[in-house]
Structure 1
Amino acid sequence: MKARIKEISEELKLVISGKTLDALLPPLLFAVVNGRYQLTVASILAIALALLLGIIRLTRKQPLRYALGGLVGVMFASGIAYFSNNAANYYLPKIVSSAVLVFSALVSIVLGKPMAALTSHLTRGWDLEWYWRKDVKPAYQEVTVIWFLFFLMRLALQVILFRRGDIVELAWTNTLLGLPFTIAGLILSYLYGIWRLRNLNGPSVEEHREGKPQPWEGQTRGF
């Protein structure tokens, strides 16, 4: 059990390395402040917090990509909310992002090029031909279907809350269905994916690369 927990921990670090709260804290601050003060104050404070987090990363010589991404996202979302004079519009970019993920996952399933396989390929650099094998591809196709259902559920909740104009609920929904659910989803995807690969009895990445004949040991780690 300890070995499996360590394995999952290492896999998560590989996939979400550098992920911080930089993209989560400013939206929460925006929602809290907007409930007590004006939209302008909420926007300014959210941008200031995102900028502060970026400065902290810079002084600590930590990766800036998430801090900068969070700053740009907060500035863009704040601009939409400010110029439309509607605080709920702050979450429009996140709704659009969810819609894009739903569409991308669906298209990848229909085309037979599952998003889970493409994501794994970009993250790990494994041979793309391995993912398309008949004794490997079904595992990634099924995981992508799970992703699609999750993305669709999140989009539906976001749209419902957006139409209600409930800023606080939008903030907490985006937060809880963001990093926490992503981590949980990655763990479940990994466990299911490894189990499914074993049942498919296909070769591991190394066995495929080296052209080893059957019987194969199969993929025992990494998905």
Structure 2
Amino acid sequence: MAAEGPEPIAAPIHPTVEALIRHRLGETLGGLRGSLEAAMPMLAFVIVWSATRERNLAIGAAAVLTVAFAVVRLVQRQTLQYVLGGVFATALAAFFALRSGNAEDAFLPGILTSLAYLIGSLVSVLVRWPVVGLMVGVADQAAVAAGDPFRWRRNAAAVRVCSRLTLVLVAVYVIRVGIMGPLYLAGNVAGLTISKVVLGWPLWVGAVAVMGAMLLKGHTPIDPDDELVQPVDISRT
């Protein structure tokens, strides 16, 4: 009986940093539908409460939208990830707004969250642990299975790519805080409501487009020992 040879090692689903990041960003973004499911209940609360000052009516409006989104997802047997995210965001916004009595305070948690992400993303680049790189590590199933989710850090080119992409995220948070912060201080609820929508999914689409352009020509291997995929000179990208 012939001896069996060694089992072949499965090729990674996404062999390059660029391919993996594109896939991961697509999952994180959730598309227009996911963004609406996360934002619309909170905006419904703010609009109804600002117009009526009826707490129960405002909460009810947000709840109706949430239930509607959830039912559609369940019927289609799809994830409730973005719907549940909207529940958390709405509850937090309602807590701040109802406690202070000011509608603009419903937007404060989001502004503070963006500020925290801005600082965290910038620090991650400075210490050479870019946030996008951590996304790569989590999404790299082969590395996780091998107990080496940070193998990308041994690849200097991958670290540079991920650092540049993380700076795009920093720019997103700078725009959000830079616009919504002054609107909040001015008590401009209408401006905040519009900004919440415009600086949500549309801004993410713009950021992903910029990242896509940066990744278009790159073929940086996730594993520095992978000889199947040769890295490009990213200084030209």
Check whether TM > 0.5. yes
Partner of 2:39: 24
Mean Cα displacement is larger for which, 50-59 or 171-180?
50-59
Mean Cα displacement is larger for which, 138-147 or 41-50?
41-50
- Select the structure that is richer in helix: 1
| 1:94 matches 2:110 | yes
Instruction: Report the alpha carbon displacement of residue 54 of structure 1 after superposing the two structures with TM.
Output: 2.1
Partner of 1:111: 127
| C-alpha distance in 2 between matches for 1:98 and 1:43 | 24
Unpaired runs of 5+ in structure 2? 1-18, 144-149, 233-237
| 1:62 matches 2:81 | no
Give the secondary-structure state (helix, strand or coil) at the position aligned to 2:157: coil
| 1:38 matches 2:60 | no
Q: Which has the higher contact order (CA 8 A, sep 6+)?
A: 2
Partners of 1:50 and 1:70 within 8 A in 2 = yes
Partners of 2:38 and 2:82 within 8 A in 1 = yes
TM value normalised by structure 1: 0.77
Give the secondary-structure state (helix, strand or coil) at the position aligned to 1:82: helix
TM value normalised by structure 2: 0.73
Which residue, out of 188, 211, 216, partners 1:166? 188
| 1:79 matches 2:92 | no
Describe the shift of the 1:172–1:50 C-alpha distance in structure 2 as closer, same or farther (beyond 3 A).
same
Q: Percent identity?
A: 21
Mapping for residues 102-181 of structure 1, pairs under 5 Å: 102-125=118-141, 127=143, 128-181=150-203
| C-alpha distance in 1 between matches for 2:99 and 2:112 | 18
Partners of 1:27 and 1:171 within 8 A in 2 = no
| 1:217 matches 2:230 | yes
Unpaired runs of 5+ in structure 1? 1-6
Give the secondary-structure state (helix, strand or coil) at the position aligned to 1:24: helix
Partner of 1:192: 214
Partner of 2:63: 47
Misfit runs of 4+, over 6 Å: none
Instruction: Report the alpha carbon displacement of residue 147 of structure 1 after superposing the two structures with TM.
Output: 1.7
Describe the shift of the 1:176–1:123 C-alpha distance in structure 2 as closer, same or farther (beyond 3 A).
farther
Give the secondary-structure state (helix, strand or coil) at the position aligned to 1:205: coil
Instruction: Report the alpha carbon displacement of residue 39 of structure 1 after superposing the two structures with TM.
Output: 5.0
| C-alpha distance in 2 between matches for 1:133 and 1:60 | 41
| C-alpha distance in 2 between matches for 1:119 and 1:180 | 21
* C-alpha RMSD of matched pairs (Å): 2.7
Higher Rg of the two aligned structures: 2
**Which residue identity is paired with 1:26?**
P
Number of aligned residues: 202
